[in-house]
């Protein structure tokens, strides 16, 4: 992997990208878990959540959910229209299970 802190002119580093995706993942998880929507009033919210995104974003989200730090990520090919599922046990039950050093 390239240097996760390298930043192209006018762009963000891989570490910044990872943090941005981690924040989105945490916000989405919290919204769903804390009743940002009422599953009784909105039955569509009670099931699975689909995130439609570019491959880089899906790779970052998957790495974050599996606890893989940005320095150890690999960039395997990801075919168009791939389905990447959250790992078993996600979301973690406590903040201790998250890799805070990457946030």
pLDDT in tens, 25-53: 988 887 776 666 555 565 545 567 788 99
**SS3 label, residue 6:** coil
Whole-number Å distance between alpha carbons of 60 and 20: 9
Instruction: Give 86-99 as a DSSP string.
Output: PPTTPSPSSGGGS-
User: Rounded to 5 degrees, what angle do the CA atoms 33, 18, 68 make?
Assistant: 80
Q: Where are the domains of the chain?
A: 14-90
pTM of the predicted model, to two decimals?
0.74
As a whole number, mean pLDDT of residues 13-19 equals 96
What average pLDDT does the structure give for the chain?
A: 79
């Amino acid at each position: 992997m390239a240097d996760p802190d390298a930043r192209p002119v006018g762009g963000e580093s891989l570490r910044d990208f990872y943090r941005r995706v981690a924040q989105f993942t945490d916000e989405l998880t919290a919204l769903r878990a804390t009743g940002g929507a009422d599953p009784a009033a909105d039955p569509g919210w009670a099931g699975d959540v689909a995130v439609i995104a570019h491959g880089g974003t899906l790779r970052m989200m998957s790495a974050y959910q599996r606890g893989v730090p940005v320095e150890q990520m690999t960039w395997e090919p990801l075919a168009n229209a791939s389905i990447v599922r959250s790992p078993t046990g996600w979301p973690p039950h406590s903040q201790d299970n998250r890799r805070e050093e990457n946030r």
